[in-house]
Chains A and B, each alone.
Chain A
Amino acid sequence: MRRIHFALALAIGLGFALGSIAAAPDPEVETPEVLPDGEGREEAFYACTACHSSALIRAQGMSRDAWDRLIDFMQERHNMVPLDAADRKLVVDYLAGAFPPRRQGGFRNPFLQQ
């Protein structure tokens, strides 16, 4: 009986400790769905997240030209695997469509976000 009580306490304890973790969504392994839907999402996801997490992509908002230049930058400086012309068009079109220039950077009113 004593043993059963111990096992029960252990199970509850573990459930508590793990529960606070399991309750959150699993952000550990990123998949293409972390990016907005669109043609070229998978290609863009795998081309970019080979090196860095999607947070860096999602923080950007740029014109198509600027995204295109950024691909050059990543290939020249950061060892990005080169894309063939078709894939490059797909990826750049996707990024430009999903992450266009935001209207405003900087200050956001915290009282409007509640």
Chain B
Amino acid sequence: MPRFKERGLFELYRSDPERADALMFGRRTQVGRRGFLKGAGLAAVSAAVGAPLAFADRFPGGLIPAAFAQAATAPKLLKMDGKAELVILGDRPLVAETPEHLLDDDVTPNDKFFIRNNGQIPSPTDNPDAWEIVVDGEVNKPLKLTLGELKKRFRHVSYQLQLECGGNGRNAFVPPASGNQWGNGAIGNAVWTGVRLADVLKAAEPKPSAIYTGHHGADPHLSGEAGRAAISRGVRLEKAMEPHTLIAFAMNGKPLPQIHGFPVRLVVPGWPGSASQKWLTRIQIRDKEHDGQGMTGTSYRVPILPMIPGSKPENSNFRILESMPVRSVITNVANGTTLPAGTRKLELKGKAWAGERSVRAVHVSIDHGGSWLQAEVAPPANKYAWQKWSRAVDLPSQGYYEIVVRAQDSAGMMQTISAWNWNPQGYGGNIVHRIAVVVPS
């Protein structure tokens, strides 16, 4: 069997620049007579580099922008539209995290939305409305719908929904857990438009035996093996039928970006993002827990009984991670900020969210948790939208401060100071967000 080896972002730009451009910017490179970028292609690359290009008409199409080409030792930044600088955790598969201070928008713009791929990025389709989605398995009326038919047949809804990688917060585990070492930035809160998965499933008429979903997408496995899914997770039928679980075709009012699953994906809010299958092709209704890629072993699972950190896991001691835990971030002051000299009052703002639950309270501390100050917390725009919080703090003197934010969910659970319930792949970590600032004399 021939194995197509997925190329990293950098290699891709070298060997297949048009495909790289299409994947990164969701557009076809417009190349003029001499092979230089023109029009929209030029604008996109300028935006990616974060500044107007000098001699822009001479910029060759498909060349990797310098903003991507940095030394391997420094954090790699993925710059889009001149503002967002996502931190590239890996380029094959492409995984990029949003620094907390770029999560300040109430609704996360597409360019600031974290990127998580498990496999290869499929080629963009030229005909999105002809894209086919199958619903089969434990149903009386299996469906095979094009995206165009789906859009016509079912009611459209739009919600602000937070989508978070199951491994968000992984880098706090000691000893380190394996996988992408996310900080707090595998989170975004976009406006998603689509149809309710529940409406589609009702049309397929689930049998009484139906208890679980299995999701399938068009992204090939990294190894290129045809029969292997990059990721194929599912949820209990109750979650699939929840009215905020969407088959989504638009993100912030525009067609999905290629990197976020164009032309259609699931959005299963509040649960690990891997359940929100990108490039959706099939929803399988099952009479047992789904056993696709990422469903078994210790993947997207947490220990039932706490295990000794670093020890050998027993698979039987693991349960599927469903709701994501409560988390909060400070978004208006970046970690490492030197404040203006003489600063004595600091307005702190941020976001908090809690998977299936809502956020009841947020507290901040400027003395390592010695005392806590209650923040104001706004209600969510709708269920599963993140919540804004704010609090002004007094900084009594010049000097070095660490500021910590901690949220509590509607059931009373709080973020922890250190990551608890250690597990080898690092799920469920939700330590407090901590930033350091200096007030000069």
List A residues at the B interface (Cβ < 8 Å).
10, 12-14, 16-18, 20-21, 23-30, 34, 50-53, 55-56, 59-63, 65-66, 69-70, 73, 77-80, 101-102, 104-107, 109-111
Q: Besides A29-B14, A105-B176, A106-B183, 16 other CB < 8 A contacts?
A: A10-B58, A12-B55, A13-B55, A14-B58, A20-B66, A23-B66, A34-B72, A53-B92, A55-B89, A60-B176, A79-B223, A101-B175, A106-B171, A106-B172, A107-B172, A111-B438
> Are B424 and A56 in touch, CB under 8 angstroms?
no
Tell me the complex Cα distance, A53–B171, Å. Answer: 19
Q: Is residue B228 contacting chain A, with contact meaning CB distance below 8 A? A: yes
The answer to whether A69 and B312 touch (CB under 8 A), given A56-B180, A62-B176, is yes
> Are B228 and A106 in touch, CB under 8 angstroms?
no
- Nearest-neighbour CB distance to chain B for A31, whole angstroms, equals 11
Tell me the complex Cα distance, A81–B413, Å. Answer: 43
- Nearest-neighbour CB distance to chain A for B182, whole angstroms, equals 10
Chain A contact surface mostly: loop
Q: Is residue B221 contacting chain A, with contact meaning CB distance below 8 A? A: yes
The answer to whether A63 and B181 touch (CB under 8 A), given A28-B64, A55-B89, A101-B175, is no
Task: Pick the residue among A13, A27, A111 that contacts B400 (CB under 8 A).
Answer: A111
Task: Pick the residue among B6, B10, B176 that contacts A27 (CB under 8 A).
Answer: B10
Closest to A76 in B: B297
Closest to A56 in B: B90
Tell me the complex Cα distance, A21–B59, Å. Answer: 11
Give the number of chain B interface residues (Cβ < 8 Å): 56
Chain B residues whose C-beta falls within 8 Å of the C-beta of A26 in the assembled complex = 69
The 10 closest A-B pairs by CB, nearest first: A110-B336, A13-B55, A79-B223, A106-B172, A55-B90, A28-B10, A53-B92, A24-B69, A101-B175, A13-B58
Chain A residues whose C-beta falls within 8 Å of the C-beta of B178 in the assembled complex = 60, 62, 66, 70
Contact with A along B1-25 (1 / 0, CB 8 A): 0000110101101100000000000
> Are B181 and A59 in touch, CB under 8 angstroms?
yes
- Nearest-neighbour CB distance to chain A for B116, whole angstroms, equals 13
Tell me the complex Cα distance, A111–B336, Å. Answer: 6
Closest to B15 in A: A28
Chain B residues whose C-beta falls within 8 Å of the C-beta of A109 in the assembled complex = 436
Tell me the complex Cα distance, A101–B309, Å. Answer: 12
> Are B174 and A105 in touch, CB under 8 angstroms?
yes
Tell me the complex Cα distance, A112–B54, Å. Answer: 36
> Are B66 and A24 in touch, CB under 8 angstroms?
yes
**Interface hub of A10, A21, A77, A106 (most chain B Cβ within 10 A):** A106
- Nearest-neighbour CB distance to chain A for B64, whole angstroms, equals 7
Task: Pick the residue among B63, B221, B400 that contacts A79 (CB under 8 A).
Answer: B221
> Are A62 and B175 in touch, CB under 8 angstroms?
yes
A-B contact pairs, 15 of them (CB 8 A): A21-B69, A27-B70, A27-B71, A50-B223, A52-B90, A60-B178, A63-B310, A66-B310, A73-B297, A78-B222, A79-B221, A102-B176, A105-B181, A106-B183, A111-B438
